[in-house]
Amino acid sequence: MSAPKPVVGNRPVAICSFAQSPSLRRVDQANEVEMLMPVIAEVFAKANMTKDDMGFICSGSTDYLIGGPFSFVMALDAVGVWPPKSESHVEMDAAWALYEAWVQLQEGVIDTALVYGFGKSSLGDLSRVLAMQLDPYTMGPLWPDQVSLAALQARALLDRGLSTEQEFAEIAARSRHDALKNPNAQVRNEIPVAELLEEAYAVSPLRRHTLPPLSDAAAAVILVAGDRAYDVVDRPAWITGIDHRVETHAFGARDLAVSTSTAMAAKIAGVGNGPVDIAELHGPFAPQEVIVRQAIGLDDSVTINPSGGPLAANPMMAAGLIRMGEAASRIWDGSATRAVAHATSGPLLQQNLVCVLEGES
Amino acid sequence: MADVVEVFRSPHVLEYPYVRSTGPIVGGYLSGLRDGKILGATGAAGRVIVPPTEYDPDTAEELSELVEVGPGGVVTTWAWVSDPREDAPLSEPFAWALVQPDGADTGILTPVAASGPDAMASGMRVTASFLPSAERQGRVQDLRCFVPEEAS
């Protein structure tokens, strides 16, 4: 057994364990630490490891959801790191925390890392929270809500003839159908596309089914470098390529119908170097899946979001990491040999991360 | 013991009550709005960016030259809000839009006051509608919205 040679980086690193809490509209009776604790316990139990086996810990979360400073420090209590460990945090989806851990592992000093992310959208008005990531002088004071902004992007796509409202509904119907097999998903049902298209507009041209649910959840993965990965899992999900790129926050200066940063990241991550079996894409709004799929260059043969994707469960700061965990799970269970995971951050697909995972055939 | 869990709920307001200078570029834009003008920054290859940024989004080149654009412009994309939120800039149904002012190469995020979604289209011409000069404070809300050109 030997790891496939990575396209990016020199040292093979694999996703070897993954756990997530069920995505719920409102987790009322557990705070962030309490929501994380069973997830952390599960990700260690699946790997037959403990916190003492970890060389590095990295998390992704945002204080703006909880409404208090340094909430990530409190979250560390879910791991119980004593004596102290090397630890870091990103104010982003935990997919970027995974990237930071992957960079650490490339240095060759440590072999293992715990990555986790968590977010409760139920604590406040998510549109108010997300408006605060916009330009604070020219956009933020107008308090544009996230649905209206996504609707601007959807219209740009429709005007360009790159998608249709029918396709948006097909994506939603497929996501909800596939989510029936995912006990952690939140929106799981069987609704015909024609019925979805009868829904009123939330904000035209977006109907309610094109919107991601508001979710509370947490997720965690364990990364292991080199041959130690085989001690944890029979068929490690090797990260053979990973990259992320950012575009201007002035989204009025971007072409919203395409995603230049996703396309760049996909190229550098080597997506096109071989066939892709499945892809877990983090386009929280249905039209964004179309944009991301086109940017990565995935054809119709690729199974998109077999987990149900973000239209079935969209916990802020964890949904991107969940894409990576779900894609890795398809490698472990043998249903895929080469998988792509994508995560996004910022308004209207501003920043994008693309990761290629491979199992030995 | 009764199996009742009472969940404590309390409002929590997080604020960052600091002020900062907006500098010559963003400040120039906001001062321009106070004076009833829309200013953009001339970026790489003569591309005019509005609202102006302190650096070119493509080349990262530092920008310093402001030029007047608009007040007319074109809707490049739009979204119809039939049920405005309490914090929306207009209380009647309206469109969020990106408007590319004449002479500019990028779009401004702005409300458009129109009679209904049937009165909106990508490519339509609109013109800036400012607050009365006495009410302007040098902030983005001074540019109240855009309105369809034939209605102005």
Closest CA to A307 of A170, A176, A116: A176
What CA–CA distance (Å, rounded) separates A307 from A305? 5
Considering only residues 52 to 81 of chain B, which have any Cβ-Cβ distance to chain A shorter than 8 Å? Answer: 53, 57, 76-81
Domain-located, residue B1: no
Put simply, the answer to whether B76 touches A156 (Cβ < 8 Å) is yes
Predicted confidence at residue B151, as pLDDT, reads 58
> Any CB–CB contact under 8 A between A253 and chain B?
yes
Q: Looking at the predicted structure, is the pLDDT value of residue B152 above 60? A: no
Show the tokens assigned to A310: 């973000």
Contacts of A127 in chain B (CB under 8 A): 85
Q: How far is CA A327 from CA A2, A18, A237, in A?
A: 20, 10, 8
**Helix pair angle (A260-269, A286-296), 10° resolution:** 50
> What number is the average pLDDT over the span B51-70?
93
Residue B14, chain A, CB below 8 Å: the answer is: yes
The C-alpha atoms of residue A286 and residue A197 are separated, in whole angstroms, by 13
- Please give the domain boundaries of chain A with CATH numbers for all domains: 13-125+214-232 (3.40.47.10), 144-202+238-358 (3.40.47.10)
Rounded-to-integer distance, Cα A104 and Cα B20, Å: 36
Where in the sequence is the domain holding B143, given as residue range(s)? 23-151
For residue range A153-184, list pLDDT tens digits in order. Answer: 999 999 999 999 999 999 999 999 999 999 99
Taking the C-alpha atoms of residue A320 and residue B118, their distance in angstroms, rounded to an integer, is 37
Cα gap A161→A76, rounded to integer Å: 47
Q: For residue A64, which residues of chain B lie inside 8 Å, CB to CB?
A: 14
> Looking at this predicted complex, what is its ipTM?
0.93
Residue with tokens 């002479």: B103
Q: Does residue B13 form part of some domain? A: no
Bridge partners of B68, per DSSP, are B39
Contact A114, A220 (CB under 8 A): yes
Q: What's the confidence (pLDDT) of residue B16?
A: 75
Query: Which pLDDT score, from 0 to 100, does residue B9 have?
Result: 84
CA distance A72 to chain B (A): 17
Mean pLDDT (chain B, rounded):
93
Query: Which of B61, B75, B109 has the most A C-beta neighbours within 10 Å, making it the best mutation to test the interface with A?
Result: B109
Helix residue spans in chain A (DSSP H): 32-47, 63-66, 71-75, 94-106, 126-131, 146-159, 165-179, 193-196, 229-232, 260-269, 286-296, 319-332
Of A135, A142, A252, the CB nearest to B89: A142
Residue B10, pLDDT score: 86
Assess A138–B contact: CB distance below 8 Å, yes or no: yes
Lowest mean pLDDT among A19-28, A166-175, A209-218, B51-60: B51-60
Q: What is the DSSP string of A135-184?
A: -TTTTGGG---HHHHHHHHHHHHHHTTS--HHHHHHHHHHHHHHHTT-TT
Is the pLDDT assigned to residue A73 strictly greater than 80? yes
What local confidence, expressed as pLDDT, does residue B19 receive?
84
Q: Mark yes or no for CB contact A149/B141 under 8 Å.
A: no
B1 pLDDT exceeds 60? Answer: no
Kindly determine whether residue A253 and residue B108, on different chains, have CB atoms separated by under 8 Å.
Answer: no
Distances (CA, A) of B148 to A314, A316, B106: 37, 37, 19
What pLDDT does residue B58 have? 86
Backbone angles phi, psi at B147, to 5 degrees: -130, 155
Domain-embedded: residue B8: no
| pLDDT for the residue B2 | 57
Cβ atoms of A275 and A303 within 8 Å: the answer is no
In a domain, B2, yes or no: no
Would you state the pLDDT for residue B6?
85
- pLDDT of A70: 87
Mean residue pLDDT of chain A comes to 96
Give per-residue pLDDT as tens, B78-120.
999 999 999 999 999 999 999 999 999 999 999 999 999 999 9
Specify the number of domains making up chain B.
1
Q: Is B141 part of a structural domain of the chain?
A: yes
Residue B98 lies in a domain: yes
Q: Is the model more confident about A326 or about A83?
A: A326
A214-239 pLDDT, tens digit each: 999 999 999 999 999 999 999 999 99
Residue B9 lies in a domain: no
Supply the pLDDT for residue A1: 66
